[in-house]
Amino acid sequence: SRGASQSHGSLAEFIRRCCEDVGRGDDVDTIAAVTEVLRVHKYRRPDDLATFSEKEAMEIGVPLRLAIAMRKRLSGAGMTIDDAIAAVTKPEPIVPKPPAPKSMFPTLREMAEEAARREETRLAKEKEAATSTWTRTDS
């Protein structure tokens, strides 16, 4: 079980955030590979990386930009404004659900919507008829 005291969450999540910091937040292969190589080298939690150096990172195959982002995050320095702008997550595309096979019978909601549309049309026509009769003067 995980300790609740981890200030940076899981190692994989921490690596994902660091990848986001360098504009590679969607690079799942890098995130998985770096997380794995760190675990192999006995880094189990983000807090274990407090003493992790760029030299060590390069020796075990962690990209330098990522190692720098990791150090910045751990030091609490966070990101520069340029990093922050680059890391703004792109909104996920909204994928419409495929329409369910259409029944030949309308649903109650469709019937209600149709009734409301017809009522609006009828009221609009009545209003139009009423306004055209206002032009006559009934004195």
On the 0-12 / 13-18 / 19+ scale of CB atoms within 10 A, 56 is: middle
* Nearest partner of 33 among 67, 62, 73, judged by Cα: 62
- Whether the per-residue pLDDT at 50 is higher than 70: the answer is yes
Which residue in 75, 43, 44 sits closest to 56, CA to CA? 43
Confidence of residue 115 (pLDDT cuts 50, 70, 90): very high
Cα–Cα distance, 110 to 38 (Å, whole number): 56
Alpha helices in 22-107 (DSSP H): 28-40, 54-60, 64-75, 81-87
Higher-pLDDT residue of 37, 52: 37
Answer yes or no: pTM beyond 0.75: no
Spatial distance between the Cα atoms of 65 and 38, rounded to a whole number of angstroms = 16
Q: Does the pLDDT at position 4 exceed 50?
A: no
Interatomic CA distance for residues 119 and 13, integer angstroms = 54
Q: Is residue 97 very low, low, confident or very high in pLDDT (cuts 50, 70, 90)? A: confident
HSE toward the beta carbon, residue 25, CA cutoff 13 A: 15
